[in-house]
Amino acid sequence: MLVIVAKTIVSLICISLVGILLAYRTAIEQWIARQNERLLLGGVWVATRLVPFIVIFVIIGFTPFSDLDGFYNQAREAVQLKMVYRDFYCMYSPFFPYVNALALGFWMDKKAIIFIMILIEGGALWTTNRYYRALLPSSERIFKSLIYLLLPGSLVFCVFGGQEDEWMWFLLISAYLVWQRTKRVEWFGVGLVVGFMFTKAVFILVGPALLFLVPKPVKWIVAAVVAGVLCLGALYYFTEFLWLEQPLHEAATLRAPNWLSILNPLTFGMLHAGAKGWNWLGLLTTVGVGVGLAYRLQKVDFVRAFSAVFVVVYGTMMVVQQSAYSSYIFIFLLPLTFVWVDFSNRKEIVMFLLFNVLSVVHPSLWWRLKSPYYSSPAAIFAQPMYILDYILQVGVVICTIYFLRMVWKKSLLLTS
């Protein structure tokens, strides 16, 4: 339980620092406006990512845990140039373990994977600033970058947990920037395939919504199909259908919190948690909600519209998919921070910070309780820690729904 206490303390420190930033926002943004944007962004990234990494993992010698064990074992196999799926199990996309293997080539330790995750998150933050350059002034972008870097959800999941969830946002907006730079939408289609090959299967959930947001669909879809056929053909040649079976197996794993983990004990297990039908219903709901919002935002500029659709798609997934859990906040935390949270609205600030803290603390508690999944109210009350776990689950789900509703409503105002 020491880890849970440590994460709680770190979270409280983080939200206190964010509170100080917000209290002095005007003065801070005025000071930011006089600085060199790139140097300042790089400086705060070093201070909030590299310095904690050195202190925690090099000086103190803390041993990382969580998903890193799996990442590390897969990367060790990849270092030996073994074939993903065929020679070792992997629930992620085919290139993912080989990216992590690059880090192990320099330092054969789990800490090296955290280091490469920090570097990629830094790339995601820099790319996000480029993505919103026409939408937000420099001082506001840097200020929101500061907030993001100090959020419990980003700091803990990246530096302590070595999570990769923000890769999806990073690769999608990178594809957009390449499309804008080259003026050829075909590169966007190719970028989607590249993103799928580097991240995980849920990357494709946002794909159908893009049909309503990206112009010239025939051109970029054809480019995506050609690139996809080449990649999938190579995967089939080397691994047959293992590339499909292993990632899909992950969807059958029961996790919490989500709607099913909350309601299952209240219905005394009558919902049959774990049934494959819930996986398909969750996928259809996630895709359907994203498509529905994208359809209504067709005439809104891509930067804003896609920011809304991305948050809504993966926020919905976080609630409806029975294999979802609270670290998925890291998928959409960047666009949520930069565009949708009004940092002059006290209620939104409180809910946002609460969402971060609950999402950070709950996974550690849940895993250390041996991943409980309750089948009745009595199971929840079997011990005090189960009660706390269930309260945190309810809190995460409520916060997720709150921000889904908020983003949906705010985005539709752009159409009026």
pLDDT tens for each residue of 330-375: 999 999 999 999 999 999 999 999 999 999 999 999 999 999 999 9
pLDDT, tens digit (0-9, with 9 covering 90-100), for 405-414: 999 999 999 9
For helices 167-182 and 110-131, angle between their N-to-C axes, nearest 10 degrees? 40
Check pLDDT > 90 for residue 2: no
* Whole-number pLDDT of residue 201: 87
84 strand-pairing partners = 88
Give me the pLDDT at residue 59, please: 92
What is the arithmetic mean of pLDDT over 206-233? 96
**Per-residue pLDDT tens over the stretch 370-382:** 999 999 999 999 9
- Helix orientation angle between 37-45 and 138-150, rounded to the nearest 10 degrees: 0
Boundaries of domain holding 170: 2-413
Per-residue confidence (pLDDT) for residue 247, from 0 to 100 = 75
pLDDT value, residue 106: 87
- Bridge partners (DSSP) of residue 88 are 84
Q: Which residue, among 294, 286, 287, 284, has the nearest Cα to 217 in the 3D structure?
A: 294
pLDDT at 62: 84
Q: Which among 356, 380, 416 is positioned nearest to 19, based on CA atoms?
A: 356
Residue 67 has pLDDT above 80, yes or no: no
pLDDT above 90 covers a percentage of the chain that reads 89
Q: How far apart are CA 309 and CA 289, in angstroms?
A: 9
What 3 state SS string does the chain have? CHHHHHHHHHHHHHHHHHHHHHHCHHHHHHHHHCCCHHHHHHHHHHHHHHHHHHHHHHHCCCCCCCCHHHHHHHHHHHHCCCCECCCECCCCCCCHHHHHHHHHCCCCCHHHHHHHHHHHHHHHHHHHHHHCCCCCCHHHHHHHHHHHHHCHHHHHHHHHCCCCCCHHHHHHHHHHHHHHHHCCCHHHHHHHHHHHHHCCHHHHHHHHHHCCCCCCHHHHHHHHHHHHHHHHHHHHHHHCCHHHHHHHHHHCCCCCCCHHHHHCHHHCCCCCCCCHHHHHHHHHHHHHHHHHHHHHCCCCCHHHHHHHHHHHHHHHHHHHCCCCCHHHHHHHHHHHHHHHCCCCCHHHHHHHHHHHHHHHHHHHHHHHCCCCCCCCHHHHCCCHHHHHHHHHHHHHHHHHHHHHHHHHHHHHHCCC
Q: What does the alpha-carbon distance between residue 63 and residue 57 come to, in Å, rounded to a whole number?
A: 7
The predicted structure's pLDDT at residue 203: 94
pTM of the model: 0.97
The residue with greater pLDDT, 384 or 63, is 384
Position 115 scores a pLDDT of: 95
pLDDT of residue 245: 82
* pLDDT tops 90 at residue 172: yes
- Closest by CA to 74, choosing from 99, 111, 37, 43, is 99
Please state the domain count of the chain.
Answer: 1
Neighbours of 370 (CB within 10 A): 6
Spatial distance between the Cα atoms of 299 and 322, rounded to a whole number of angstroms: 34
Indicate the average pLDDT of the chain.
94
Q: Is 375 exposed, middle or buried (0-12, 13-18, 19+ CB in 10 A)?
A: middle
Query: Sorting pLDDT into bands at 50, 70 and 90, what band is 246?
Result: confident
Question: Could you report the per-residue pLDDT of 251-278, keeping only the tens digit for each?
Answer: 778 899 999 999 999 999 999 998 989 9
Q: Rounded CA gap, 166 and 310, in Å?
A: 12
pLDDT confidence of 301, banded at 50, 70, 90? very high
The pLDDT assigned to 294 comes to 98
Residues 106-149: pLDDT tens digits?
899 999 999 999 999 999 999 999 999 999 999 999 999 999 99
List CB contacts of 375: < 8 A, sequence separation 6 or more: 264, 265, 268, 269
Query: So what's the pLDDT on residue 259?
Result: 96
As a whole number, mean pLDDT of residues 64-91 equals 90
- Count of Cβ atoms closer than 10 Å to residue 277 Cβ: 8
61 or 229, higher pLDDT: 229
